[in-house]
A and B are shown apart, each in its own frame.
Chain A
């Protein structure tokens, strides 16, 4: 022990100098002191590629800010209790801010308020929540997105059979999430504008791809004259697309689905799925982390931001506009953010 003491004394100034040098090097961006900030990002289902895109965007933002994120969330969107306990655990750990995509608008309202009461700003992404005590809401306007899906379905029916008329049905992920309910309502609202189109049925497939496939097969069977199906999320789209491929139904029946798994994009290229309504989960994760960081520094944020939707069709799937939306790994933010560096300076106090 005695012998080692002088050595550590000799080392300490070196270590200090190194730290100081690093600090000087990074000091210009004022980010060095934030290395220990970790913002938890709580998503709805770790198993869907949609949510992986949210994480990708969140990581990108964290890298820019020089902070850490923590990936959290239940395995499946139906696990409401699991997400509530994640939030409860977070509140007791006191992170600087939380990014949350609530699986249920009413059940998560309490935990969001509890976090706000504990002084932790919560940035809500993707889906609304039944309270106004959050820092900001960054989401798709799901009602409008559902309307877009409805118009895309009507457009496809008109294209394939000459006029927008006939029977359609839709597959529901679960009747619990605000984003999904708004989406379904938007779809139904759009369908009302086509007096000759009748929505004949809907099936709840519990976010299970295999069930979505079986339900689609049964819908195709029950309604031999069915003109179109709308699948309201990615796993529903995977299941419905597989059923269409199995039955060779793509020529007679239009299929419009949400989001963009690799399987869905493959189906879109083949023409099995006619249109994909693509949200921007990458941007939700990216801006969610920026906003959470800003809120943790005491910045007052806009109440809500719409990240928009885009409709990709079999014809437009390979256009450059969709590359980063359909495959988050190819997402490029540089044309908008990198050259000026203004985004950096806005938030670094």
Chain B
């Protein structure tokens, strides 16, 4: 079993205007017949959210490499989410190399959403807190496997640092996929259709992206193409940071 994983993050215009760096983070790893991808979006309202997002990515990569994720993948996602939250709380208590602990008011300064997709063979498992989404492509059909947290208002969501964050951790799983797309809310409005409260992948976009993903043989080049697309095609959709990561199932 092998996978191709590629993607990119770009800074949003609003972050540039506020003289704020990019707060999205992503990462991925492959091992044996498995792969993991992580996408995290630090909250613009939280001072050090970038570090919270990076800690989530690091935590899942670390646990993927060093613990048993196969015997119960759902448990792995729950426990690693708890681990990431604890690591964030520790970071808030101890400070960072470049941020003294006196400057940190609360671990909520590190607020971030998270999307994790773990693939084992043809099976997939998703863990999600907050907005953004992941979409599966299988046999030319597209479905949202991990929907955004439903809040009526655009600037209100939940984070790994929220009270009762375990309640908001949405875990889903299923068999079979050709590709999985995970993305932050920066592109969500352009690629998810919502009609009368029902969310669906915007098919023209995902058909195009699926054709592109299946033709990829060089992941660096593909990541550059995703980067260009995020910069050039989504700038009118949102001025927020934007991240899109794609996992392609190449089979045996």
Partners in one complex: no
Identify the B interface with A (CB < 8 A).
none
